[in-house]
Structure 1
Amino acid sequence: MKGKPQNTALQEIKVTEAAELLTFLLDSKVRKSRNAIKSLLLHKQVKVNGQIVTQYNHLLKRGDVVSIHKHDHKLDEKKLKGLTVVYEDKSIIVIDKESGLLSVSTGKEMLKETAYNIVSNYLRQKNALVKPYILFRLDREASGLMVFAKDPDLQEKMQKEWILHPPKRSYQAVVESPVIPESGTITSWLTENKNFVVFASEKDNGGQKAVTHYKTEKANNRYTLLKVNADTSRKNQIRVQLQFIGHPIVGDKKYGSKISPIRRIALHADELSFNHPVTKEKMHFISALPKKMQVMADAINPPKAETTE
């Protein structure tokens, strides 16, 4: 006779009013930071009514039971060299790329290892006829979420749909010095020189128009942790525009940074949302900050207010 399944929940919370899952977890203070909660979702440690949920905008209803569990490594995503497969179905594959890995090879970099090559080999091992088709790139120095189609027709369909309804792509960046104002929009025109360095101009000089929104998450006298969203997708856009306003990304020597405490640029693509090209389901993916970036972000504490006696 089998015993009852053991309840492995570390914490259980009953929902008293409708809310999105991430908001509910933040309000319930199950962890100290937004990134720590994202990590719970990423590692499949959150269940709603006994079912694993990883989508941060999952809508909770009154009476639902949310439980937090230990990290079960058997549920981990497929880890490959330089990247992790976080989602896959018959149509698309979503990966979390590590810093230092090229998205796709071009020109003189044809022989170097890339995210495209790694994903291609991974798919070929399962089905020799399936190939990945890239939808957007991440800078080699950045880390975070990317998506590939598994069919060239789907790739074309998604790219056309994204012209009118672009995916939501957000980033976290640690930049030098306190950013003032704490939130805003950067609009500039970008041009590239023969050395492949991109420059920004506040006036239309015939370059590509680029629009980036930012919001301060927290700051101290040396660094600011920003949440960044880009309306456009230009080469090196976020890096160039943050340098343009006088706040280069930490570690980004190409675009003005003089320091590199974590030996990489502090830019991570942490959220990605789009409609599935076949099912039309709203897809949401989140990626916790890499360890070195997380340690740096955790160390950014606002300066203490001076007291007068």
Structure 2
Amino acid sequence: MENHRNISEFILLELSYNQNIQIFSLVLFLFCYMALLEGNLLILVSIQCSPLFHQPMYYFLLHLASIDICYTSTVTPKLIADLLVERKTISYGNCMLQVLTMHFFGGTEFFILTSMAFDCYVAICRPLHYMTITSRTRCNLLILAAWGGGALHAFPLFSTAVGLPFCGPNEIDHYFCDIFPLLKVACTNTYISGVLVIAFSGVVALVTFVVLFVSYGIILFTLRNLSAEGRRKAFSTCWSHITVVILFFGPAIFIYLRPPTTFPEDKILALFYTIIAPMFNPLIYTLRNTEMKNTMRKVWCQTLYSKGAHN
């Protein structure tokens, strides 16, 4: 820690210095965060309290909702709190923790979405073997692999950040601690570190995106063999997944798969994969899913009825 003695905290630069925009951002992000928490908690409780828990698709959705809450909570509460104060700072320790948790939960979400694509592929392309291929043991292994993949993604980036010497400027041109803005203020040549970041973030995101894109391409091609009703239902489910993938991966690939540098627009693009995409996940996976809507209606109507009868 000798190299970090001169830096005990970092100053986070604002999204905008306009007071009206800051007030608008505060209201918007607070609404988004509350909507995200409410939507994902509804999904968690509804699946846990219904037979859907035993279906692989909803088992993965349960874990996705949990990850979304953890992932967004690493960034959004701090962003909302900073909009209430004039000087936006973060301690060195909390900054490093934010790098670790954000990339850990973000990387895990990468692989959870891949697992959901695998489930969708088997359900449509190999329906007769679906229950055998997607057994609970295999689903648990995929979830375990997703968490392990998140750790393998995050710890090299965390080690890179912790190893950087900070002895001069401490202003980070971002609303949270991320690896590229930290490289910019480090007191050393960061070329090798930048290449490692691209390898562990950009390449991982790109490869995962390509795998997902090819998987859904095969799925959509296979839909032509289904009945009109089956094609409609499967098409709706696939487009829900594809929407999530584009919202999450698109901005992430643009930011991390390029030479180590930062642009002012990065802060706006980062909002898509840190707040907007996780907020839309509950809407995308419930409003376009009749089975999920019926289950939520049944679970919560029974809960309210039981409370009413008890009173």
Please give the range of the TM-score, normalised by the shorter of the 2 chains.
under 0.3
Instruction: Say which structure, 1 or 2, has more relative contact order (CA 8 Å, 6+ apart).
Output: 2
Normalised to the residue count of structure 2, the TM-score between the two structures is 0.25
Structure that is richer in strand per residue: 1
